[in-house]
Amino acid sequence: MTRQISPAKAIEGTISVPGDKSIAHRAALLSLLAEGPITVINFPESADCQTSLRAAQQLGVEVETFSDRLVLRPPDEFSLPPDTVVDCGNSGTTARLLSGIIAGSEAEVTLSGDESLQRRPMKRIIDPLTRMGAEIFAEHNRLPMRIRGARLLPFEYRLPVASAQVKSAILLAGLASGCTTVVREDQVTRDHTELMLQELGEGLEVRHIKPVLVDDPVDPRKRRMEMPEPFKKEVTLSGQARLLGGLVDIPGDISSAAFFFAAAAISGGKVTVENCGLNPTRTGFLDYLKACGCNVKIEDRATVSGEPRGRVSVTGGKLKPRKIQGETTVALIDEIPIVSVIAAYTQGTTIIRDAAELKVKESDRLAAVAQNLDRMGIKCGILDDGLAIEGRIELSGADFRSFGDHRIAMAFAVAALGAVGPSTIDDDTIVDISCPGFFDLLDGIRSE
């Protein structure tokens, strides 16, 4: 449904956003492997997370719903008919994490999904899971994908690309099969899977590789910092690892909060989000806002269920362009569409590199951002792995396309708040994929 959005005179307010998608996916799917029930507080109503919950139910998890929590009871055994088909909807996380669980379960399951998900690449999980011993059949390495699980072999893998989903798929395959599994990362990615496995079970160890001071081989009078290993992190799952069950209290999703913080950034206003997740692998957007000239204040810090959280306030300031590349891009990968909107409202040129992965998300997010910014009168060049955005202070309202992508729709709904003249979004229902109630929350922080 098309929605019209008028410019906001001011942005200010305090809100709570839905529970973190990444954590919710893992809580739902890990219940398949638990020895006891998992109780989940603040499980979001987002379509993607509900897809994972339905998948878990289809494969045997019993779900009890209470007013303030879910109780997920694992199946007695993981035994399924070979013609079982699980619909993963639009959720790449569901498909990739579930692939690992099935690969190590000795079951045979076909994973399918909607048209968008069927275009997304799965080779990055097919290769390691096949090497572990699973049989996977997928035409052109895309869904639908039939997985025949097996008793997997002990496995060591160094991620060729930074991907928390690939890391998680391998670890869950090892847990399902009871085989020792080691994953090494050159760039540190989201660690929600590791934290949940440690919080609810036993048998997982994480080693962070830190630089050490060594003698300079050229000049022995000098010393320099050097990495003792060619990677930055090593996760080891024992063959005797167990997932016992317990409590998962999900904080607010910082990736959803980012859109409301961005509204403060482009308007000079102030937005506060209560109980906002502050996992260090997810706070790159807050670092970006500070580097751009915004004020970021964090209060009431706490760690619950292994996940840090707090009350986060962002106040907009005079925005400055910043180049985004390498590990910064990895930390901001889900936020690149809204970062691009902030860049459009920033005088000067913002360069975003190392973001080629965005071409194969729910949409080609690089092309989608460029097309919508062009409608606002912004020059935006598409690079082979990113964008070059020439920002300015005054942008025109426009008729935006969502491209069937929730993050594009939300990013340009925020862009419309600071524009001159009204704007429209061609599909406002797509935001339910990740943030149901998004437009109500947006209305709650704006005044006209």
- Domain membership of residue 75 (yes or no) is yes
Higher pLDDT, 172 or 360: 172
Q: Which domain holds residue 187?
A: 21-212+226-238
101 domain-assigned? yes
193 shares a domain with 286: no
What pLDDT is recorded for position 447?
Answer: 84
279, 274, 324, 95: which is closest to 189 by C-alpha? 279
Whole-angstrom distance, CA of residue 252 vs CA of residue 22: 11
One domain for residues 299 and 382: yes
Top-confidence residue, 111 or 327: 111
**3 state SS of 164:** helix
Assess contact for 338 and 258: CB atoms under 8 A.
yes
Three-state secondary structure call for residue 115: helix
In this predicted structure, the answer to whether residue 259 has a pLDDT above a threshold of 80 is: yes
Q: Please tell me the predicted confidence (pLDDT) of residue 223.
A: 85
**Domain shared by 233 and 338, yes or no:** no
pLDDT of residue 218: 80
Query: Does residue 269 share a domain with residue 397?
Result: yes
* Segment 211-231 mean pLDDT: 85
pLDDT score of 215: 83
Q: With contact defined as beta carbons under 8 Å apart, do 52 and 95 qualify?
A: no
Q: How many structural domains compose the chain?
A: 2
Mean pLDDT, to the nearest integer, of 270-292?
97
Residue 293's φ and ψ, nearest 5 degrees, are 120, 5
> Do both 180 and 92 map to the same domain?
yes
Tell me the pLDDT tens digit for each residue of 146-162.
999 999 999 999 999 99
Q: Average pLDDT for residues 338-364, to the nearest whole number?
A: 96
Query: Which residues are part of the catalytic machinery?
Result: 334
Q: Check pLDDT > 90 for residue 338.
A: yes
Q: What is the pLDDT of residue 78?
A: 76
Tens-digit pLDDT profile for residues 394-414: 999 999 999 999 999 999 999
Q: What is the arithmetic mean of pLDDT over 109-122?
A: 94
How many CB atoms neighbour CB 317 within 10 A?
15
For the domain that residue 104 is a member of, what is the CATH number? 3.65.10.10
Q: What is the pLDDT of residue 226?
A: 87
DSSP state of 402: -
> Are both 187 and 292 inside the same structural domain?
no
Is the pLDDT score of 448 beyond 80?
no
Contacts of 148 by beta carbon, 8 Å cutoff, 6+ apart? 108, 134, 135, 136, 137
Under DSSP, the state recorded for 324 is: B
Residue 64 has pLDDT above 90, yes or no: yes
27 and 162 part of one domain? yes
Is residue 38 in a domain? yes
Kindly report, residue by residue over 77-100, the tens digit of the pLDDT.
877 888 999 999 999 999 999 999
pLDDT given for residue 224 in this prediction: 83
Residue 220 has pLDDT above 80, yes or no: no
Q: Do the domain assignments include residue 219?
A: no
pLDDT confidence tier of residue 180, bands split at 50, 70 and 90: very high
Q: Which residues pair with 295 in a beta bridge?
A: 315
Which of these ranges, 11-20, 31-40, 70-79, 120-129, has the smallest mean pLDDT?
70-79
